[in-house]
Amino acid sequence: MIRSYKYRLYPNRKQTEYLGEMFDLFRELYNAALQERRDAYQKCGITIRYTDQAKQLKEIRRDIPELANYSYSATQQVLRRLDKAFAAFFRRVKNGETPGYPRFKSRSRFKSVPFVFGDGAGIRNNRLHIKGIGQIKVKWHRPIPNDAKIKQVIVKCSNNKWYAVFQIELPDPELVEHPGPAVGIDLGLSSLIATSDGHTVEAPRHFRKTEAKLRRQQRRMSRRRIGSKRWRKAVRQVTKTHAKIANQRRDLAHKISKVLVSAYSLIVFEDLNINGMAKSRLSKSILDAGWNQLITFTLYKAEEAGSTIVMVDPYNTSQACSGCGSIVKKSLSVRVHHCPDCGLIIDRDVNAAINILHRALNPPGRGGQAPTWPVGAYVA
């Protein structure tokens, strides 16, 4: 299995300058390759591919000595990155979507450079060694497993901070039987998650709580002349605030997913159309909750913990009664499920979580599935 380990880099002043120069050279190579592809097709109707451009690398490195200071495979990765952008563009066109044509990269859009581990990048004296840059200090907050095989290193710059992402290959974990019970998870906006055994986690609303601060920072930025030092300073403040929100959301998703896979052997989620729901009037709250990130983190952690993840149809999970199966219509403002037929009174989200678990344990066609009746139907 493939995993990514991200570490903070602490380059000195000279290394920071060298990294900036390397990113500028690779960005210019990317833009020149894009220009060549576009002009060849527009003026001559010729399609240029990766292999055609890779053959020119030796001559380019001979004409630009600064580019020859860095790994040859790293320059190849720049051209492969462009090739992937075109492949994704044509795939979307073929599927009937309306994608944007690959665009030229400014400094603000070219923020990562990949290296093949052992060819241009490696670990020396417990530091990250990059050809043409030197040995950069790394904050090893967690060790790389001894049985891991490092495939690639991606150097990234985000909000004037440098990071190294190690893509490693680990042996598949041994299949072990998880001793925990099964649980259904309801994802919501009032409670981020509600479990079928009655536990709830309140939605933190990181973006909503910081929205007023962001509004002030963005207004300050809009009043300044674009491109000036004061404008760049305001941009950095806005970027820093957005990064903090993303870090808070990611940290909570990691903690919740870790607890879930440690406690439960079967975890059941709703198969929600999150992209479609994000286009509704609740889009800001849905994106702030980070449901997709939580599900993704739980999926990859369950692979190592021995847990099983199941996705079920979300239809009527909030409206159906988990006690008798009758449909009790209620709006989003109603937070308590009160069944007029069986008298069950329970939190709305917990009721939905129980229904989600029932659907996984009793799928259609197996018998024993909890029945549901239309509104007003009598249930004995």
pLDDT tens by residue, 255-312: 999 999 999 999 999 999 998 998 888 899 999 999 999 999 999 999 888 899 999 9
| Amino acid (1-letter code) at residue 60 | I
Domains located in the chain, CATH noted: 2-169 (no CATH), 175-201+260-380 (3.30.420)
- Contact call for residues 350 and 196 (beta carbons, < 8 A): yes
- Quote the mean pLDDT of the chain: 90
Distance CA 233, CA 221 (A): 8
Question: What is the helix (H) or strand (E) element at residue 216, kind and residue range?
Answer: helix 206-222
State yes or no: pLDDT of 182 exceeds 70.
yes
Q: Strand, coil or helix: what is 100?
A: coil
Listed in order, strand segments (DSSP E) in the chain are 2-10, 112-117, 120-124, 127-130, 134-139, 149-158, 161-169, 182-187, 191-195, 200-202, 266-270, 308-312, 336-338, 345-347
Among the listed residues 171, 158, 167, the one whose alpha carbon sits nearest the alpha carbon of residue 250: 158
Residue 345 backbone dihedrals phi, psi, to 5 degrees = -120, 120
Q: Which two tokens stand for residue 102?
A: 């690959």
Quick one: pLDDT band at residue 177, thresholds 50, 70, 90? confident
Across 1-5, 20-24, 272-276, the highest mean pLDDT is recorded for 20-24
Q: What is the pLDDT of residues 216-250, one digit of tens each?
A: 999 999 999 999 999 999 999 999 999 999 999 99
State yes or no: pLDDT of 23 exceeds 80.
yes
Which residue's structure tokens are 């070219």?
110
| Cβ atoms within 10 Å, residue 110 | 19
State yes or no: pLDDT of 368 exceeds 50.
no
Quick one: pLDDT band at residue 342, thresholds 50, 70, 90? confident
Quick one: pLDDT band at residue 352, thresholds 50, 70, 90? very high
Instruction: Calculate what percentage of the chain has a pLDDT beyond 90.
Output: 73
pLDDT attached to residue 223: 96
Spatial CB neighbours of 59, under 8 Å, sequence gap ≥ 6: none
pLDDT attached to residue 121: 94
- Contact call for residues 83 and 49 (beta carbons, < 8 A): yes
Residue 167 backbone dihedrals phi, psi, to 5 degrees = -95, 115
| Cβ atoms within 10 Å, residue 261 | 24
Exposure string of 24-50, with b = 16+ CB inside 10 Å and e = fewer, is ebbbebbbebbeebeeeeeeeeeebeb
Q: Which residues pair with 10 in a beta bridge?
A: 137
Q: What is the pLDDT of residues 92-151, one digit of tens each?
A: 999 998 888 999 999 989 999 999 999 989 999 999 999 999 999 999 999 999 989 999
| Cβ atoms within 10 Å, residue 356 | 28
